[in-house]
Structure 1
């Protein structure tokens, strides 16, 4: 089990240069923005515009805070995502236009290169978090999370579990996490 603190996330410009992202994890660990198999990052979106494109990659987007965002992917009907929406999966190589619904948002991006691994992203709220992984599992804290009554994660920290490891976080009525399973 490895704790990833938000203060240690690697900050870098977006691929399109129009913003900044905080890279939480990348696989393989030495991969660049162009050759990763999986990349997990958090970003602030402060204006409307086009998303960066990534060839042969699927993106899962979760709105963490703010009013929300409207996405138009490859000319399809727009979809609105808010902080309480389910994770949304779409092709990262499709042209995507984003329109903010009422000001800046913060989002979580999970990008997986097609044909490398499977990935499942889910939001979990107000129940004990139990994770046992066959691949790599990341638990991203939306709120403070405790284990055995002690703080384990602050908001936007993450814990990474390797194959075979398990984690049970305390039940907390206010705690929410995003669980990312990579197999």
Structure 2
């Protein structure tokens, strides 16, 4: 079985929030309702609180829009106004969100703390980039803008803007070469015990 899985944007389901303040498009998850990790894009349309996810660590990156300001527990407000600005917080924290000026789109990574930890990187893709396999690691690649091709040992996958790729190296594997032009969001998941 190939360690590479292409996830086209057309396969992702967009759902309205219960509080009617926005939309979530789930891109991928590991596990069922009690997920190990979950990746989605949120469209925030109005001010309001975030849902609580006890036991989960969260990373949020601003993708589009003029930004948001977050009140996280008793910490000073955190303002994200530049594309790919990121904030990390506990899923059980009390989080209130205010839009700076109009709706935003945000990249969300949730990792169940007792199972995995996530490292999130946003970067341009100019020429080749190599991801070396690490045992117990899973890499998630989202093409935010532009295009990319991914080559494994026996696979060649083309990714357009909005498409994603999951490279599961938990049982070993060979290096992954990404080539193209654009912007990527990369997430590396490792077992929490590492």
Q: Which residue of 1 aligns with 2:38?
A: 39
Q: Which residue of 1 aligns with 2:7?
A: 4
**1:11 and 1:165 mapped to 2: Cα distance?**
33
**Kept after mapping to 2: 8 A contact 1:145/1:169:** no
Equivalent of 1:22, from 20, 25, 37? 25
Task: Could you tell me which runs of 5 or more consecutive residues in structure 2 were left unpaired when the two chains were aligned.
Answer: 151-155
Summarize deviations over 1:124-145 as a string: whole Å, max 9, x none.
Answer: 1143332233211011111122
1:1-183 equivalent positions in 2, closer than 5 A:
1-14=4-17, 18-28=21-31, 31-32=32-33, 35-127=34-126, 128-134=128-134, 135-147=137-149, 152-163=158-169, 164-172=173-181, 175-183=182-190
**1:110 and 1:27 mapped to 2: Cα distance?**
12
**Kept after mapping to 2: 8 A contact 1:86/1:122:** no
The secondary structure found in structure 2 opposite 1:133 is coil
**1:49 and 1:165 mapped to 2: Cα distance?**
44
Task: Could you tell me which runs of 5 or more consecutive residues in structure 1 were left unpaired when the two chains were aligned.
Answer: none
**Kept after mapping to 1: 8 A contact 2:125/2:179:** no
Q: CA deviation at 1:16?
A: 5.3
Higher strand share: 2
Q: Tell which structure's C-alpha radius of gyration is larger.
A: 2
**Kept after mapping to 1: 8 A contact 2:49/2:96:** yes
**Kept after mapping to 1: 8 A contact 2:63/2:84:** no
CA RMSD in angstroms, aligned pairs only: 2.1
